[in-house]
Amino acid sequence: MNDCIFCKIISGQLLCEKLGETQNVFAFSDIQPQAPLHALLISKEHVASLNNLTPQKRREILPEMYDLADQIVQDKGLRERGYRTVINNQKEGGQVVFHLHMHVLAGAKLRGHIGA
């Protein structure tokens, strides 16, 4: 999608701090972090939300998101301390950018809604 900020990141039109990548998922640092580590893991294919995933895409994308999240916190030395994964779905679920993405937060005692 031309106006989707995450699609622009995937295409290289916008720069980011890349944290990792799989066949279906791209990970980068959030520009407004809510914790010392705040990664965003996005589907490479534009999918607006969890509601728009086909069963096949759900089986492909979501396991890769969780595996990459685990790899990132392990690489940062934060896996054993603990981390939070969050997928907001639709407006009332807190989704702001309508491109499937997961937040990964770590590096501090997390409290409240999503951040430290």
For residue 15, the model assigns a pLDDT of: 95
* Other CB atoms within 10 A of residue 45 CB: 15
For residue 2, the model assigns a pLDDT of: 73
* Other CB atoms within 10 A of residue 115 CB: 17
Average pLDDT in the chain: 94
Angstrom CA distances, 40 to 16, 37, 55, stand at 11, 10, 22
Q: Which residues of the chain have pLDDT under 50?
A: 116
116, 110 Cβ separation under 8 angstroms = yes
Query: Domain residue spans in the chain?
Result: 5-106
For residue 1, the model assigns a pLDDT of: 61
For residue 113, the model assigns a pLDDT of: 61
Structure confidence by residue, pLDDT tens digits, 7-16? 999 999 999 9
Angstrom CA distances, 76 to 29, 80, 107, stand at 12, 11, 9
What pairs with residue 18 in β-bridges? 28
Tokens of 57: 């895409």
For residue 111, the model assigns a pLDDT of: 77
Catalytic residues: 101
For residue 116, the model assigns a pLDDT of: 46
Q: pLDDT above 70 covers what percent of the chain?
A: 95
Place of tokens 């106006």: 3
Pick among 3.10.20.30, 3.20.20.150, 3.40.640.10, 3.30.428.10: CATH of 5-106: 3.30.428.10
